[in-house]
Structures are given as structure tokens and as C-alpha cells.
Amino acid sequence: MASQTRTTLSVLLIPLLLSLLAASAQAGSIAVYWGQNGGEGTLADTCATGNYQYVMLAFLTTFGNGQTPVLNLAGHCDPPSGTCTSLTSDIQSCQSRGIKVILSLGGATGSYQLTSTSDAQSVADYLWNNYLGGNSSSRPLGSAVLDGIDFDIEGGSSDYYGDLANYLSQYSSQGNKVYLTAAPQCPFPDTYVGPALQTGLFDYVWIQFYNNGQCQYSSGDTTNLVNSWNTWTSSIKATNMFLGIPASPSTPGYIPPNDLTSQVLPAIQGSSLYGGIMIWDRYADVQNNYSGQVVGSV
């Protein structure tokens, strides 16, 4: 009788275990950009939602070519007057929840360009001393130590970003790991950050599947998106890749939550590099509760 009971339990448990294993294989995370709209709420509140595992502070809009670096966090604070140091506690609050907080370089507008290997080294040193684990008397975000650097390069030249990635990666030997992430456009290879991605040094790549008709989702048609996803995941070495999507219906490439969970994610979650989704941006997510609608399926 005991043997029969054990057999029955085994039969019942096997499908459950297989289901749990499948769910775990597809489990992904959500990354979000924060910092470009004062109406998106505080950084601490963003992390307290429990929806995100990665938050990119957007953006360091000026750097390289001998320029004084400029941090632009829109209405949240004013770096020249030192008010962004108030974010120290918010950053540490996020990190205490296990959330990686990463500084994003570039953006769609700004003044940035690397002009030489030594310029890349200079920018890497600046980032290490002012935002990562180094020391400086004028850290814009105070004593908080960020987890890494994001390359959202959308203009200028592609030159020397591979060198910048290499120099930044070397700092991982001096303490905590410096995570490297990037946000290329979905046409492969990306015009600006494509060469840097070939270094194989990037941990997470959030591919922007929006504002580009060549490879974004369109009215129930996943073909272009899936083809582009497969090209990226078969061509770039990274720890994980994320599907970058907008949270606002007004942005080209928007995927309705039901379409994302029923059509798009099932088509890409089988990839061994699938890491989840990236959302642009926190403000649009607040307005539309996009992450709240999809977090259980990511």
C-alpha cells in the first residue's frame, strides 16, 4: 500500500516539477529607464513597485572630446547646484532590494563623442571616480556606488566605444563587478554601438524594438521582430538580451500588453539568451501601468 502511494505521488509530482522547471527557464526580468520626466515619481518609489530588476538613470548627455561631462536628470535635480546628491539614499534603497542601478550614457540628444583611445580611457576614469567605486570630491550622485554603465549611443560616431567598454570592464578587478549594458536599435548591426558589442564584454543588451519599422512589432505581425531577435541572439555574445519596448501607445512599435504576453513573448522566450523586457520609460509606465500588466508573464 505504501509503495502504491509513493508511485501515485511520483506520478502527480513529475508534471508539477516539469511545469516549475519550464517556468523557471522562461523567467525574465524588467529593466526601465528613469530620469527624463519629473512626473515619473522618485527613484525610490520606482524600485518599491517590485516590477523592475534594473533601473537605468538617464542620461549622462555630455562626455568625451575634452568636454566637461553633464548629467541630465530633467526635473529631478540640478547637478551643477549639487542637488542630485539627494539621490544617494534612493539609489541605496533600490540596491538593498537587489535592483541594479546603472548610469546610461548618451540618449537621443546630447553632445558626446569619443575621439581617441586616450579619450576613452579618460571617460572611463571619470565614470569610475564619479559614479562607480572610485573616489572624487565632486560625485554628482553623492556617495552611492552605481552598479554599472549603459551605452545608449544614438549619435556621433561608433569609434572607441569598444575601448571604453574594455577600460570599464577592467575596474571589476578592483572590487564590485562593473556591469556593462547597451541599448542598440533593432536593425543589425547597430550603427553606433555595434562595434563595441563585438567585444563580448556586455552583460545585458536591451534591444530597442521601437521607432523602427524594419524590425518592430506591427498589428499582430511578429515576423520582423522575431527575425531580428534571432539575428541578435545568434550574433552577439552577452549574458542576456532583453526585448526593448515602449510603454506608451503613441510610440511606434508599441505592443499591447495582451499581444506581448500571448504572441511576442512566447515566440522569443525559448532563446537561451532571453533575459526579459526593457521598458521606455518609467513615466510612460506610470501613465499606462504597462509593467504591472505584464510582469507575471515576463
Task: Give the residue numbers annotated as catalytic, written as ranges.
Answer: 154
End-to-end CA distance of the chain: 43
Tell me the H-state helices in 131-264. Answer: 161-170, 194-197, 223-235, 257-259
Q: Three cell numbers at 230?
A: 534571432
User: Residue 42: which region, alpha, beta or left (left: phi > 0; alpha: psi -120 to 50)?
Assistant: beta
Q: Is 207 within 8 Å of 243 (Cβ atoms)?
A: yes
Q: If residue 286 lies in a helix (H) or strand (E), which one and from where to where? A: helix 282-288
Report H helices in 27-146. 43-48, 88-96, 117-130
Q: Which helix (H) or strand (E) holds 18?
A: helix 2-26
8 close to 17: Cβ distance less than 8 angstroms: no
| Main-chain phi, psi angles of 94, to 5 degrees | -60, -45
Residue 268, SS3 per DSSP: helix
**C-alpha grid cell for residue 139?**
560625485
